Amino acid sequence: SDGDWDQSDTYWKSKEFLAWLYNESPVKDTVVVNDRWGHEIMGKHGGFLTYSDHYDPGHLLERKWENCMTLDKNSWGNRRDMTSSDIHTVKELIEQLIRTISCGGNLLLNVGPDKYGRIVPIFEDRLRQLGQFVNVHEEAIFGTKPWIHQNDSEVIWYTSSVKNARALDPNRVFNPQDPDNTVIYAWILEFPKSNLLELPSVKMTDETRVQLLGTQFKLPKKQGPKGTLVDLSSVHWTNFPSKDAFILKIEYAGKSYHNPLKEFKKRQKQRAKMELKKLMEETLG
């Protein structure tokens, strides 16, 4: 659904429709719905949550959610006065992709066709560029889940997969870090100024392996001051699958019991206490 705007769920008779959809419709056992069924329903009720367009929480959510965004930064449709600077670059699209899936979301990317139903060349070009990146790095995208850490910085993000999921909860929000079972994918959105890349969240062991995804290059690593230090000097820049971002496949990293959902709630409580303390100090003088 995407027509609620300022009207209530009562106005749209959403409850009646959803009751039919889930109980009597031909797709009642397989249908998935979003949260756009009436004013103030977004982010509260639905099979998955969308909140607002271009939603980007920056942290892991407990519920499945979707980032609804457009190739044209200013419109869901097709504009005759659109310029090239109005269109997201492929680098920006890759960044939105990883910011979304690392936090448990799905990326919905809209393209506005022209009046003849055709996709204009600049949109086609962007989709092909993004498709090339996805095809080479699909292992780090499809079938993955968020890791125990979502990111180390604005330019280092993570996804993960497991080799064997039989002992794990099928409804888990993120993959735990098990040295023998978890595969980590580190998305690097900016090439480091030196040939050394530090990954603070990755605990190194003697068995840890690092590979440049999309190639056969195995990369040297060592323990750095803050985490695993990966040496990129053995790979010439022309051998990187993409010039916009690259992904490292990491196996046999050290054990960690970090829970991102609990940590976020803890930070929220601490922030609330600090804000309350500040408010009381301002009130009491």
**pLDDT digit string (tens) for 116-171?**
999 999 999 999 999 999 999 999 999 999 999 999 999 999 999 999 999 999 99
- Residue 23: CB atoms within 10 Å: 8
Model pTM greater than 0.75? yes
In what side-by-side order are the strands of the sheet with 196-199?
196-199, 228-231, 221-223
Token pair of 12, please? 């749209």
How far is it, in rounded angstroms, from Cα 273 to Cα 275?
5
Q: pLDDT grade, residue 268 (50/70/90)?
A: confident
Q: Give the residue carrying structure tokens 């959510």.
A: 61
How far is it, in rounded angstroms, from Cα 15 to Cα 19?
6
- Residue 264, classed as helix, strand or coil, is helix
Which residues, 6 or more positions from 276, have their beta carbon under 8 angstroms from its beta carbon? none
Q: What is the per-residue pLDDT for 190? A: 97
Interhelix angle 121-136/90-101, rounded to 10 degrees, is: 50
The pLDDT mean for the chain works out to 94
**pLDDT digit string (tens) for 60-108?**
999 999 999 999 999 999 999 999 999 999 999 999 999 999 999 999 9
Q: What is the per-residue pLDDT for 147? A: 99
Mark residue 273 as left, alpha or beta (left: phi above 0; alpha: psi -120 to 50; beta: remaining). alpha
Contact 227, 221 (CB under 8 A): no
Q: What is the per-residue pLDDT for 152? A: 98
Token pair of 110, please? 């809209």
Contact 169, 143 (CB under 8 A): no
**pLDDT digit string (tens) for 1-57?**
776 778 888 888 889 999 999 999 999 999 999 888 888 888 888 888 888 889 999
Q: What is the per-residue pLDDT for 3? A: 65
Domains (ranges, CATH) in the chain? 9-140 (3.20.20.80), 151-260 (2.60.40)
**pLDDT digit string (tens) for 54-66?**
999 999 999 999 9
